[in-house]
Structure 1
């Protein structure tokens, strides 16, 4: 899932020599699916304990 597809990300890809066909995300990123949502909610709950 791309994090940023806006003008800033497009300009960064252009500076790095990427073509419009290149994926707009870092190659090491993973694509999240709806099955990941329960785990992400648990992670979020733990992180919020430290923030609050």
Structure 2
């Protein structure tokens, strides 16, 4: 019973850490700026209207 509990715990740790590390890798590689309709970079503190 102890080996089953340990195995389940180990699998839980592995599967909870692995997707987290992949998401950080993807988030860090895409640093492209967000552009407005005129092609300018968006600025913080500036009001924008969302058009769909």
- TM-score (norm: length of structure 2): 0.32
Higher relative contact order (CA 8 A, sep 6+): 1
Mark the structure with the bigger radius of gyration. 2
